[in-house]
């Protein structure tokens, strides 16, 4: 059995779940988000009170959709922040980032504040680019800064496998389980030849994307 990771010494370290809350349904995919936080907490040997986390989400009220950010620190303290959820853009422009991900980095499997590369890349998005796409050190497609990637090559929606080095996204897991997508190793050539490209996460759903030249 793989040895558990340890939370970084950084006192600001948190596990994160970002999800949408909607007046007609409450926290969208809430159970899946809490399950993922629980798995990461167990791996990192962090205390996690799922009932308390569920209570925080259940207690949200709003007449309009919200963006919710649930965090868990190394002591087991949960916190919830909410903000208005703005409408999705009709399309994103995406480009391949020059940095590369190490496919065997175990931190890629956990959504946490340990994401300096993603944050710095997103903060430096060139004008006209809405999302960076990352490759791994072997040249295979991985994920975006805040999204998983889905490619339509004419054989349904394809998404990179976890072994490529990426976060097990909640929307991604739901689509795989429903047979709406399947895992395949993908390359930049697949992006260039794709009938359609989508970036997606649980908060936003799927957003149609167009690949542009990297800046």
User: Mapped to the 3 state alphabet, what secondary structure does 20-65 carry?
Assistant: EEECCCEECCHHHHHHHHHHHHHHHCCCCCHHHHHHHHHCCCCCCC
Half-sphere exposure of 73 (CA within 13 A, CB side): 10
CA distance 192 to 204: 24
**Tens of pLDDT, residues 88-128:** 999 999 999 999 999 999 999 999 999 999 999 999 999 99
Q: How many CB atoms lie within 10 A of CB 145?
A: 19
pLDDT for residue 214 is more than 70: no
* Residues 33 and 72: beta-carbon distance below 8 Å: no
Q: What is the pLDDT of residue 4?
A: 60
CA distance 142 to 134: 6
pLDDT for residue 142 is more than 70: yes
pLDDT for residue 81 is more than 60: yes
Read off the pTM: 0.93
What average pLDDT does range 49-73 have in this prediction? 98
- Phi (first) and psi of residue 51, to 5 degrees: -65, -40
Per DSSP, 133 falls in state: E
**Tens of pLDDT, residues 6-41:** 777 788 999 999 999 999 999 999 999 999 999 999
What average pLDDT does range 54-66 have in this prediction? 97
């Amino acid at each position: 059995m793989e040895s558990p990771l340890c939370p970084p010494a950084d006192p600001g370290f948190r596990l994160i779940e970002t999800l949408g809350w909607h007046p007609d349904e409450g926290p969208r995919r809430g159970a899946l988000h809490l399950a993922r936080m629980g798995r990461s907490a167990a791996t990192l040997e962090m205390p996690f009170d799922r009932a308390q986390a569920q209570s925080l989400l259940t207690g949200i009220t709003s007449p309009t959709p919200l963006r919710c950010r649930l965090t868990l620190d190394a002591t087991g303290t949960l916190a919830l922040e909410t903000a208005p959820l703005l409408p999705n853009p009709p399309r994103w422009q995406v480009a391949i980032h020059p940095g590369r991900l190490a496919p065997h980095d175990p931190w890629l499997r956990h959504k946490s504040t340990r994401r300096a590369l993603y944050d710095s890349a997103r903060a430096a998005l060139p004008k006209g680019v809405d999302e960076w796409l990352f490759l791994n050190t072997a040249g295979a497609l991985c994920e975006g800064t805040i999204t998983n990637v889905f490619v339509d090559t004419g054989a349904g929606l394809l998404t990179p496998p976890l072994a490529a080095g990426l976060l097990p996204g909640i929307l991604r897991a739901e689509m795989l389980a429903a047979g709406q997508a399947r895992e395949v190793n993908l390359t930049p050539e697949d992006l260039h030849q794709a009938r359609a490209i989508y970036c997606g996460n649980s908060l936003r759903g799927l957003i149609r994307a167009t690949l542009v030249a990297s800046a």
